Amino acid sequence: TWIPMQVGWEFKLLRYTLLSLLTGAVVWTFWRTRLPKTLATETLEFAIVLCLALLISPISWTHYYLLLLLPLGLCLGNSVSIPQGRLWLGLFVVSGLLVSLPVTLFQPDSPVLRSIVFRLLLSHYFLGGVLLLGLLLAARWHTTTALEASPANPLVHKNL
């Protein structure tokens, strides 16, 4: 049904706390890092904002999370400034899997297992988005000095 659900104050408090944490992390990271001077860093910030917008949206259908494949594709195409390494690659792969897995309705017979599946496993899209946002923020923090300090970077804007 399309009738809004009544939720308690605990849910509202948790929702607004989570929204504040996600938005605050992005604002703080952007404030503490320098203005982007390279196209790769600007693209990274675009990916961060896209990820945040999807996560804090009050209505997110599961197919909306496929929009997070755009930042992942930018990472694969070396269009954003992210650190290199197996750990980074592994975490990006996990995030990509979480946001792109198909919806399958698995209903265990046990009420306890059913509750766990419905509360945790069906939110893998959101968890993948949060992981991706965390990775992108960490990449922005990590690469703010390394990439922009390199004078031989071909992605530097000519007008900056």
Q: Evaluate whether residue 13 is within a structural domain.
A: yes
Residues in a beta bridge with 156: 38
3-class SS of residue 38? strand
Token pair of 108, please? 């265990």
Q: Evaluate whether residue 2 is within a structural domain.
A: no
CA separation for the pair 95, 129 (Å, rounded): 7
Q: Evaluate whether residue 126 is within a structural domain.
A: yes
Domain boundaries, position 142: 9-146
Question: What confidence tens digit (pLDDT) does each residue in 38-52 have?
Answer: 888 899 999 999 999
Nearest to 103 by CA among 125, 131, 120, 119: 125
Q: Evaluate whether residue 153 is within a structural domain.
A: no
DSSP letters for 86-104: HHHHHHHHHHHHHHHPPP-
Residue that wins the pLDDT comparison between 112 and 57: 57
Nearest to 142 by CA among 91, 92, 82, 77: 82
Residue that wins the pLDDT comparison between 2 and 52: 52
Question: What confidence tens digit (pLDDT) does each residue in 92-132 have?
Answer: 999 999 988 877 666 777 888 777 776 666 688 889 999 99
Q: Evaluate whether residue 77 is within a structural domain.
A: yes
Number of domains in the chain: 1
Q: Evaluate whether residue 151 is within a structural domain.
A: no
Q: Evaluate whether residue 107 is within a structural domain.
A: yes
Q: Residues with Cβ < 8 Å from 140, sequence gap 6 or more?
A: 29, 30, 33, 41, 44, 45, 48
Is the whole-model pTM more than 0.75? Answer: yes
Nearest to 104 by CA among 64, 69, 62, 58: 62
Q: Evaluate whether residue 34 is within a structural domain.
A: yes
